[in-house]
Amino acid sequence: MAAFRCRRDPCGFICLILTYFSVFYADYVVIQYVLIPAYSGSVWCTLHGSVFNIILLLLLACHSKAVFSDPGMVPLSETDIDFSDLRSQTNRLNDRGCEGWTVCSRCETYRPPRAHHCRVCQRCIRRMDHHCPWINNCVGELNQKYFIQFLFYTGMASLYSMALVVSAWVWRIRSEIEGDGDEEEEAPSKHLIVAHYIILLVESILFGVFVLVIFYDQLVSIITDETPIEQTRNRLMKDKPNNTYPTHITHKRKPKMALLREVFGRGSIICWLFPLHSSPPSVGGISYSALPDYDV
C-alpha cells in the first residue's frame, strides 16, 4: 500500500526523503560541529548527545508508525451492491440505528459516519483529517495519534537543536575573544562550521514553526470534535439559505479529556508520549464493517 501511494503521490515520496535527510543532517551537525567542539571531554557532551538522539529516535518511530499504519480505511464490499434504491431505504436505515452512513460514489460502498474519500489513497478514510505528504499517508482515526506525536518530537528536536547551536556559537565567539582558539588551525574550517550552523538554524526554525501551527490545529480539531473537512463543510452549509443539513454532532458535547483519550488511548497520560498501540475508538457503538446493519 505504501508503494502504491508513492506512485500515486510523488510529492509525498519526496517529502519522505526530505524528512529523513533533515533528521540525519541535524544529528550530524549537532554531534560533529556542536557537541564535540564545544563540550568535548565534558559530561554535557554525552548527556546532550544522548537526549537529542533519543528525541530523534522517538521522532522516527512515530513517523514510521504514521506512515505505515492504517489510517482507518473503510473496507470494500466483497460483492457488488445495488445502490439504486438507497433513497427509498433511508427510513429503514435510520430505524436500524445507522444514522450518518453514506455511499461513496468513487468506492461504490457504504461508509460510516464522518468518513471521507481520499483522492490519493483512493479509499474512504474514517474520520479523515487530511492527506499529509510528510507522511505520504492520510491522517485518520487510527493514526492521528502517531502523527501528532511526530509533530511533538519534531518541535522538540527543533527547539533543542536551536538551543545547542546558539550555545555553541556563543562558546566559539567567547573562545575567539579570549584567544583560546588556534586561528591558523581553525581558519580553513571556520566558514564551513558557520555555514552548518546557519543551515541548521534555518531548518530548525522553519520546521519548528511549521509543526507548531499544525500541532495546534490538530489539538483544536480534537477538542472541538471536528475535523478540518467537517469544519469547512459545516461553515459552507451554514452560509447557505434555508439550510437543513445536519452536522455530525447530534449528541451532548464530550469533555475535552474524553476526546483526547479517544485519540491517544485510555491508559496513562505518560503513554501518550510513546508510539504504543491503543484500541481503536468506536463511534455510537457502530462497528465498522463493509456494510451497515442494513438489509440491501
Active site residue ranges: 132
Number of residues in the chain:
296
Q: Give the CB-side neighbour count of residue 157, counting CA atoms within 13 A.
A: 31
Q: What is the distance, to the nearest Å, from the Cα of residue 100 to the centroid of all Cα atoms in its chain?
A: 26
Cell numbers at 199, concatenated = 543551515
- Describe the crossing of helices 144-178 and 10-29 by its angle, rounded to 10 degrees: 40
- The radius of gyration of the chain's CA atoms, rounded to the nearest angstrom, is 25
Nearest CA to 67 among 138, 10, 155? Answer: 138
* Vertex 81: Cα angle to 77 and 82 (nearest 5): 165
Q: 115-118 and 109-111 as β-strands: parallel, antiparallel, unpaired? A: unpaired
User: Angle 43-68/144-178 helices, nearest 10 degrees?
Assistant: 150
* H-run or E-run covering 257: helix 256-264
For residues 204 and 207, what is the distance between their CA atoms, to the nearest angstrom? Answer: 5
Q: How far is it, in rounded angstroms, from Cα 3 to Cα 8?
A: 9
Cell numbers found for residue 106: 468513487
Q: Using CB atoms within 10 A of its CB, is residue 260 exposed (0-12), middle (13-18) or buried (19+)?
A: middle
C-alpha cell at 142: 487510527
Q: How far is Cα 117 from Cα 105, in angstroms, rounded to an integer? A: 9
